[in-house]
Structure 1
C-alpha cells in the first residue's frame, strides 16, 4: 500500500487528494514539522526534511507535483490528467506547475518571514519581492477563471489540486487576499468528496 508522509496544512494534501480522486488506497503517516527533533524513520525517507513524501513499494518520492504526476502516470489513465493530444494539455501543464513554482513556493517567503523571522526582519525586501511576484502570477489564474471554471477548461484536473492548495495557503496563512472569482473557484474544488476525505484524513492526529 502507498504511504503518504504528511501533516496538517502541508502539501501532502495534494498527494492524498489525487489518491482519493483515483480511488487508490493509501495510509497517511503524520510528521510533526514543529517538533524539535524528527523521527529517524522520517529522516531516512527524506533527509531533506520537507513534506510530502510517498513510498510505493521500492519507490520513494518527494516534491508534491512530481508525486502527483507519478501517481497519475503509474496508476492512470485518469481524467485528472489530459492526454498529450488533448487541446487542454498545454494549459493543464502550465497551471499544474504554476500552482507550486509560481505561487506556493513564493508564498512561503512572506509566510515564513511573517511567522518565524525576528520582528525586525519580518518586513524584508525578499518577502516584499516574493509577494509582488505572487500577485502578478495570480493574474494568470484570474484570467483563466474569466474564461473557464477550471484551470484546464471545463473539467476538473490535477492542475486544480495544485492551484487550489496554493490559493488556500496564500489566503489562510500568508495574508493574500483572494477575489470573488478565486473564492468561487475554491468552493467548487474543495466541495468535492475526494478533497473532503483527504482533508479529514490529513487532520487526524496521529494520522495512520
Structure 2
C-alpha cells in the first residue's frame, strides 16, 4: 500500500467515527505501527485536516473536511453531478443555489479529465414537480433545523382550511409532491402535510418538546416494515407506493344509522382527504351501482383508488397499513394484541352479543359450533383485556382502539354491554379524542329525524 493510499484510508476511517478512536485501534486497522500512525496524522494535519486528539486520548476528525479528488471514481463523479443537478431542479431556491455552488466547487478541484466528464455528463434531470408554493421550503427547512414549532394554515384536497401547530422534522421530496412529516398538536399524532397546501406558516418561537431525531425514530417506527418480497424490487417502489396511497382518492360509503361510524372515526384519525357518500337503506343500498361495491348491499365500504374494502374491521386494518405515517399501527411488539383484539371484537364478541340481543340462547354444543362461546364469557374476556390499560395494543393509540372502543362505547350506550368499571375507564380515555368528537358531530348533523329500519 502506498503512503498516499494509506493517508486517504486513514481519513476515511476517521470519517466513520464520531467519537475519538484510539491510536492503537487506527494502527491495527491500517496494519501499521503506532509510530507510523502518529507520523501519518501529523502529515494530514500539515495539509489542513482538522484532526483533534493526542496519544493516549484518541483521535477525531472534525466535520466539514472535503476529501481530495483522488477519492472520486468515475461513477462517484456521475452520482454527485446527477444528485446536485436534481437538487437544482427540484428543491427550493436556497438548496438549488447551494447545489450550484457545490457543483462549481467540486469541478474546480477535479483533475482536467474528471472535470470535463462532470461538465459533459450524459445524465440529465428532466422536468418534474412544478407547483406554486405559498410558503418557501427554505422556511420549513429552517424550522426543522432549529427544531421549532410552526403555526400553519392548511388547506386539504377539498379546500377545507384548518389551523394547526406542528413540529416539522422531515421533508420528503417525491416526484409529484413535497410532504412535510410533523407531529400535529391538533390531532395529537404524526401527520403528513402537502407542502403546496400549507397556505401560511409562522414560527411560534417554541422548540419541540422532544429532539428531532427522537421524533423521526418514533415516526419511522409507525411505518410498516418492508416485506421480504419487496427485496426483489427497487427500493423506490415502496416509497412510490406510499406516495401513491397519499394521492389516491378515498371514497367512504356509509349511513349515519350504521357501523360506518367506526370507519368515519378511523378516517378522521387518518388525517387524509376523503369523500363521503351516504347510501340510504332500501333500494339505494341494493342498487346495481352499489352492489358492484359491496355485493352484500350493506355499509360501510371504502374505495381507495381501485381497491375496494368492506367490513369495518377490515377497513380499519387496511387503512392503518395503507397509511402507516398516520401512526395507527402498533409497534411490532404490540402486533399480537392488535390483531387479536381487533378480530376478537369483530368476530366472537359481536356474534355473541347479537345472538343474545335476538334472545337466542346457545347450548354448550352450539357455543362450540358457532365458535363464539357464551355472551358472558366473551364479555368477561374483553373486560379482562382492557382492564387497567389505556390502549388495547401496546402503549400507543391504534386502529384496534377505534374498533374495540366503538363497540364498548355503543354497547354501554344502548345497553348491550354492562357499564363495568373496566369498560368505562377504557372508553373515557378514548371518547374525547378530537377525531371522535368530529365524527359524532358529523353523524349528528347527518342523522335523519327517525331511523329507517333495515336488515
Structure 2-normalised TM-score?
Answer: 0.39
What stretches of structure 2 of length at least 5 have no aligned partner? 1-248, 449-455
1:4-50 residue CA offsets vs partner (Å, 9 max, x unmatched): 111224222222222211201112222233x3663623233212112
- Alpha-carbon distance in structure 2 between the residues aligned to 1:36 and 1:108: 25
- Alpha-carbon distance in structure 2 between the residues aligned to 1:39 and 1:126: 32
Q: Structure 1 residue 124 and structure 2 residue 360: aligned?
A: yes
User: Match for 2:285 among 8, 26, 38?
Assistant: 38
- Alpha-carbon distance in structure 2 between the residues aligned to 1:37 and 1:79: 35
- The aligned counterpart of 1:201 is 442
Number of residue equivalences: 194
Is the 2:254–2:301 contact (alpha carbons within 8 Å) kept by the matching residues of 1? yes
Which structure has the bigger radius of gyration? 2
Aligned CA distance change for structure 1 residues 124 and 142 (closer, same or farther; 3 Å): closer
Relative to its length, the structure with more strand (as a share) is 2
- The aligned counterpart of 2:270 is 22
- Alpha-carbon distance in structure 2 between the residues aligned to 1:198 and 1:189: 13
Helix, strand or coil: the match of 1:88?
helix
- Alpha-carbon distance in structure 2 between the residues aligned to 1:80 and 1:157: 4
- Alpha-carbon distance in structure 1 between the residues aligned to 2:408 and 2:294: 26
User: Match for 1:89 among 335, 341, 346?
Assistant: 335
Is the 2:335–2:393 contact (alpha carbons within 8 Å) kept by the matching residues of 1? yes
Relative to its length, the structure with more helix (as a share) is 1
Q: Structure 1 residue 159 and structure 2 residue 400: aligned?
A: yes
Once the two structures are TM-superposed, the CA of residue 168 in structure 1 deviates from its matched residue by: 3.0
User: Match for 2:416 among 148, 172, 175?
Assistant: 175
Which protein has greater RCO, CA pairs closer than 8 Å, 6+ apart?
1
- The aligned counterpart of 1:150 is 391
Helix, strand or coil: the match of 1:38?
helix
- Alpha-carbon distance in structure 1 between the residues aligned to 2:445 and 2:351: 25
Aligned CA distance change for structure 1 residues 90 and 51 (closer, same or farther; 3 Å): same
Once the two structures are TM-superposed, the CA of residue 182 in structure 1 deviates from its matched residue by: 0.5
Is the 1:141–1:151 contact (alpha carbons within 8 Å) kept by the matching residues of 2? no
- Alpha-carbon distance in structure 2 between the residues aligned to 1:3 and 1:104: 26
Structure 1-normalised TM-score?
Answer: 0.79
- The aligned counterpart of 1:119 is none
Aligned CA distance change for structure 1 residues 140 and 154 (closer, same or farther; 3 Å): farther
1:158-190 residue CA offsets vs partner (Å, 9 max, x unmatched): 111111122234333453313122112112111
Aligned CA distance change for structure 1 residues 39 and 205 (closer, same or farther; 3 Å): farther
Q: Structure 1 residue 77 and structure 2 residue 313: aligned?
A: no
